Amino acid sequence: MRVLVTGGAGYIGSVLATELLQRGHQVVVLDNLSHGHRQAVPKDAELVVGELADRAGLDRVMREHSPDAVLHLAALIEAGESMKAPEVFFRNNTANALTLLEAMLAAGVKRFVFSSTAALYGNPERTPIQEDDALAPTNAYGESKLLVERMLAWFHRIHGLRYASLRYFNAAGASRPDQGEAHQPESHLIPRILAVALGRAQHANIFGTDYATPDGTCVRDYIHVSDLARAHLLAVDALAKERENSVPLIYNLGNGQGFSVRQVVDVARQVTGHPIPVIESPRRPGDPAVLIASSEKIRRELGWQPRFPDLQTIVESAWQWHRAHPNGYSGEDAAQRK
């Protein structure tokens, strides 16, 4: 199968591109390299540097590469930043997704896997969260993704688009010695904590200690990046087998267990042998107290099973990557990122 991966030079996208190639698929990566890295793209994938807002460029990619499916991972992801500049997130995450879908429809591409988010659920009424629970984002990032899911439902109904929406919980860990998490700036908890152990930061921040959780800090469900990638493979295979009128595939992706910020810090201390001092800071706007997934639906329907479910394994894999690559993809200079 020929597969187009948007955002394939990023953290999850590059791991997914590698997994697709290992399964024998042909992979084209479309990325503007604003947050991705050339070095993260596997050598057997073709990299096209371009913008999702460029409809003519998208049409050219569709015409030249004739993908059988599009896996859409390109998006801004910092929930806190979305509460400062929501317009940027709606333009990048929502409007650009619409442009991509329009180009797909014009080219006759009818299979789409969407990188969605647990942020759709906001402050959930129950945990573990199930796919049919209420969708009520508490930040603009989650709303920007929910709008895409709503568009997809209409495109399926009217145009016969076959799609899977994968609602990620907290992606973490590293899959390979040469592929890991390297955001600039880094907003994810585990790499920020490990930066302290590497001597690149003096302390880690805990945002909010008065939540209604056992230790007062936010609780999240962490999922290894390799397990996320395998879920995408199962989803795109399922779409290839679907009939034209098949129902959309909507799945949560998590481990079904939650860990507080303090617990993550404690595990990182054990893994690294570093004391990792912390500073307690006020809550960030839009942060739900608890997000834990029920992934029973994808386990039941597609046979997905996390291979790396425990937090210590996830943190250890991340530590191996960051210790070997303290500067991320350090060989990449500014010219390469353009």
Residue 331 lies in a domain: no
Taking only the tens place, the pLDDT of each residue in 117-130 is 999 999 898 999 99
Active site annotation includes 141:
yes
Structural domain count, the chain: 1
Asked if 78 and 41 count as a contact pair (C-beta separation under 8 A), the reply is no
Q: Say whether pTM exceeds 0.75.
A: yes
Picking from 308, 300, 312, 216, the residue whose alpha carbon sits closest to that of residue 264 is: 312
Residue 53 lies in a domain: yes
Determine the Cα–Cα distance for residues 100 and 52; give it in Å rounded to an integer: 6
Residue 335 lies in a domain: no
CATH number of the domain where residue 302 is located: 3.40.50.720
176 — pLDDT class (breaks 50, 70, 90): confident
Q: Which domain holds residue 139?
A: 2-324
Residue 177 lies in a domain: yes
Lowest mean pLDDT among 83-97, 128-142, 178-192: 178-192
Block residue for tokens 């608890």? 290
Residue 330 lies in a domain: no
Of 141, 163, 222, 251, the active-site residue reads: 141
Extended strands (E) in the chain:
2-6, 26-31, 46-49, 69-72, 111-117, 162-168, 170-172, 204-207, 219-220, 222-224, 249-253, 259-260, 278-281, 290-291
Residue 170 lies in a domain: yes
Picking from 18, 3, 126, the residue whose alpha carbon sits closest to that of residue 71 is: 3
Residue 332 lies in a domain: no
β pairing state of 278-281 and 204-207: parallel
Q: Which is higher by pLDDT, 281 or 177?
A: 281
331 — pLDDT class (breaks 50, 70, 90): low
Residue 150 lies in a domain: yes
